[in-house]
Amino acid sequence: MRHEQNPGYVHGYDAAEQARLHDQATTLEALLHHDSHFPDGGTVLEAGSGVGAQTIPLLRRNPGVALTCLDIAPSSLAAAQERIRAAGLPLPVFRQGDLRALPFGDAAFDHAFVCFVLEHLPDPGAALAEMRRVVRPGGSLTVIEGDHGSVLFHPEDPRARAAIACQVALQRAAGGDPEIGRRLVPLLRRADFSDIRVSPRLVHADGSRPALAEGFVRRTFAAMVAGIRDEALRAGLAEPAAFDAGIAALHRTAEPDGCFCYTFFKATARVPVG
């Protein structure tokens, strides 16, 4: 990780990616956060908070907690502050820092929350160990991650599969794991968390859910894959026409007679007492 940003984050840090992240958070808020509740008065760390896309639903649903947001990129923290102000929500505490060496003492928080971050880290176990260190015994950790291997869609199209494979290859080359969702249980066990529970959260967008097809298929998932076009071409992973055809095929699944499915995994765990 560099000081300003995480080079493992293959999607970049431009305005389009910031907008995509907020579109994703808005579209998936009910699915991912209907049970993201922490006791009033508790201290909560959001690790890898980025541009505040997940911070906003956390603040909406937990007005009684003291939230601290940490990210390695000062520019992302500044963007988060602007977005949270615009949403009319109280500002959390912002800290710049590295997940591998959190700038907090032992047992500093009651709870920690991390969403769509571990997939981009070359050593997610090290970050989990640090979060375990800064959460008090008996406190909790919530982790949400996706799994690109869970994608199903209709009409099936090899060009769409090839475009997704470019995203997967680039993320793996950067040291990340685009299929980390299925590994949350063993990762949390190795980090010595207890009471581990994982809940799959299925996105199912079809003609009966046009808003979800627009918000997730077009503006979140297809936009994510489209965003790595230039990098995929430079890496020799695809030809321009073939890649563009793959993106068009992904958009085709969002039509009224199409279907698109993707599974997120939400894990909760506790720091053992004693």
Answer whether residue 2 is part of any domain. no
First vs last C-alpha separation in the chain: 34
- Domain assignment present for residue 117? The answer is yes
Q: Is residue 79 part of a domain?
A: yes
- CATH code (residue 215): 3.40.50.150
Query: In 3D, which of 148, 146, 170 has the Cα closest to residue 229?
Result: 170
Residue 35: strand, helix, or coil: coil
For residue 40, the enclosing domain spans 15-270
Element (H, E) at 47: strand 43-47
Is the pLDDT confidence value at 274 over 90? Answer: no
Does 188 fall in a domain? yes
What is the per-residue pLDDT across 185-234, written as a single tens digit (0 to 9) for each?
Answer: 999 999 999 999 999 999 999 999 999 999 999 999 999 999 999 999 99
Query: What was the pLDDT predicted at 1?
Result: 29
Residue 27: pLDDT band (50, 70, 90) is: confident
For the chain, how many structural domains are there in total? 1
CA atoms of 273 and 184, how far apart (whole Å): 21
pLDDT in tens, 238-252: 999 999 999 999 999
C-alpha–C-alpha distance, residues 269 and 274, integer Å: 16
Q: Is residue 161 part of a domain?
A: yes
Distance between CA atoms of 2 and 153, rounded to whole angstroms? 37
Q: Residue 186 contacts by C-beta under 8 Å, 6 or more apart in sequence?
A: none
**CA separation for the pair 258, 233 (Å, rounded):** 28
pTM surpassing 0.85? yes
The Cα–Cα gap between 194 and 177 comes to 23
